[in-house]
Amino acid sequence: MKKVVKIICIVLCVTLLVGIASIFAGCNPKNRNEILKLYMPGEYIDEDIFEEFSAWYKEQTGETVVVQIDEFDAVENIQTVVEGGRADYDLLCPSDYMIEYLIGKELLIQVDKNIINIEDEGLFKQEYITTSREFDPNLLYSVPYMYGTLGLAYDITKTGRKLDSWEDYFGDVSYSKGDAKYKKSLKDSVRDAYAAACLYNARSTTAGLTGESLKGQIQEIFEDTKQTTVDAAKSALLSLKEDGAVWDTDNVKYEIAAGQSNVAVALMWSCDAGYVMNEYEDEDGNIQEGYKDLWYVVPKEGGNVYIDSFVISKYAVNTKAANYFLKFICQKDIAVQNSEYAGAISPVSEAYDELLEYYTVDEDGLFEGTAEGWKEMFIETMFPSTETLNRCGVMKDFGEGKNRVTTMWGNVR
């Protein structure tokens, strides 16, 4: 994800030059109704589109608006800042399970379907509309922004083979070459870690299933927070920790791609894996070649498909601009621009199709000189097939099981 340079208007109050303050009065909108406030993950949207939106909004409505953005590191921050603090953000960008939670707490305003209706024919890929119904059953509150999967990313120079199972991660298997001993990496995320451990522990229940039967069984696994299930997940995660697993706070992908890591296999989101496979911008803002020895797979026993979506907060002030912004980012060119920036793929149909064709044709030579099967793996990573999606569950609000899972994670950490 690319670094963002933010422009900040700074007014210097100098006692002897009080009159100079008026020069800067134009830096800020006249009132709150001329501001659209976003609260979303960092480096997940190309801020270059904000001025374009302001101009487009003026054409559409005759009104003025300026976009402001605040970023969070964890989706759970929404509960603290919005639910607890009643912050007046107009648009939030949470993940699926948090949207379900916010709907249940009556903290969202319905999207104006006269401005943007995600059920319009062909606007979104149908598979992601179906997924959205898992957390927004009537499609009233959310507009899909980016999707991805949770699986295993691995450095094939360290594993020495292709991986396809949670056994390759949680099982009694180690990776080494000569005297070098390689590690496994565990994402510092309770939900991702818990889901992975549960899929591993319940692998016998998914064996032999296909299609909708497999998908239904995996969804049951994702929604299981019984104490016995939580305890089993804890044992699997502690085994990883005792084996010296590396904790990933979003930097392992850069270290692997730069050849600075002893990690052989990592629990990772597809967007992060795909980001460093392609030409990418590192943590210092330098452009790097993609790492072509990194592979990604959704294990055969099952994985997770996630959708990050925009929703309108109950405490929004500028709901009109919020709805128009949702329409704006669903335009093909804007969706493509944000996809390229974030390293994820938009489920907007026209954007999805254009990006898929771009990688399939490979006019820029991304796949030149890569190992057999690497191109197909990359495309599957970014554009998962129906077969892959059928073995992916959707994360849900833990509800009454939240305390059990949170306590377990505290003990693991």
Q: Which long-range contacts (CB under 8 A, 24 or more apart) does 365-370 make?
A: 366/278, 366/279, 366/290, 369/292, 370/292
Alpha-carbon gap, residue 347 to 381, rounded angstroms = 14
In a domain, 234, yes or no: yes
| Model pLDDT for residues 296-319, shown as the tens digit of each residue | 999 999 999 999 999 999 999 999
- 346 shares its domain with 255: no
Counting the structural domains of the chain, the total is: 2
> The domain that contains 74 carries what CATH number?
3.40.190.10
Helices and strands of the chain, counted as H and E runs: 18, 14
In a domain, 166, yes or no: yes
In a domain, 360, yes or no: no
- 141 shares its domain with 224: no
- 388 shares its domain with 335: no
φ, ψ at 303 (rounded to 5°): -150, -160
- 102 shares its domain with 127: yes
Beta bridge mates, 266: 153, 185
In a domain, 103, yes or no: yes
- 282 shares its domain with 183: yes
Query: Which pair of tokens denotes residue 90?
Result: 């107009």
Helix (H, G, I), strand (E, B) or coil at 304: strand
Task: Please tell me the predicted confidence (pLDDT) of residue 30.
Answer: 65
Q: Please give the C-alpha separations between residue 180 and each of 33, 157, 174, 366, 400, in angstroms, as whole numbers.
A: 60, 12, 11, 30, 45
Alpha helices, DSSP H only, in 223-318? 227-242, 252-257, 270-277
In a domain, 236, yes or no: yes
Range of the domain at 83: 31-147+308-355
In DSSP notation, 19-40 reads GGGGGGGGGS-SSGGGEEEEEE
CB 153 within 8 A of CB 265: yes
- 107 shares its domain with 152: no
* Residues in CB range of 72: below 8 A, 6 or more apart: 39, 40, 41, 42, 78, 81
- 77 shares its domain with 169: no
In a domain, 13, yes or no: no
Strands 246-248 and 180-187 come out as parallel
Task: Please tell me the predicted confidence (pLDDT) of residue 249.
Answer: 76
- 258 shares its domain with 400: yes
Instruction: Please give the span between the terminal C-alpha atoms of the chain, in angstroms, as a whole number.
Output: 27
- 390 shares its domain with 263: yes
Alpha-carbon gap, residue 265 to 293, rounded angstroms = 12
pLDDT in tens, the chain (413 residues): 333 333 333 233 323 233 333 333 344 566 989 999 999 999 899 999 999 999 999 999 999 999 999 999 889 999 999 999 999 999 999 999 999 999 999 999 999 999 999 999 999 999 999 999 999 999 999 999 999 999 999 999 999 999 999 999 999 999 999 989 999 999 999 999 999 999 999 999 999 999 889 999 999 999 999 999 999 999 999 999 999 999 987 789 999 999 999 999 999 999 999 999 999 998 888 999 999 999 999 999 999 999 999 999 999 999 999 999 999 999 999 999 999 999 999 999 999 999 999 999 998 899 999 999 999 999 999 999 999 999 999 999 999 999 999 999 999 99
CB atoms under 10 Å from CB of 329, counted, come to 22
CB 136 within 8 A of CB 167: no
CB 287 within 8 A of CB 9: no
In a domain, 132, yes or no: yes
| Model pLDDT for residues 31-45, shown as the tens digit of each residue | 989 999 999 999 899
- 194 shares its domain with 74: no
Instruction: Encode 352-377: b = buried (16+ Cβ within 10 Å), e = exposed.
Output: bebbeeebeeeeeebbeeeeeebbeb
Helix (H, G, I), strand (E, B) or coil at 149: strand
φ, ψ at 201 (rounded to 5°): -65, -30
- What's the CA angle centered on 376, arms 391 and 371, to 5 degrees? 130
- 215 shares its domain with 116: no
In a domain, 11, yes or no: no
- 154 shares its domain with 195: yes
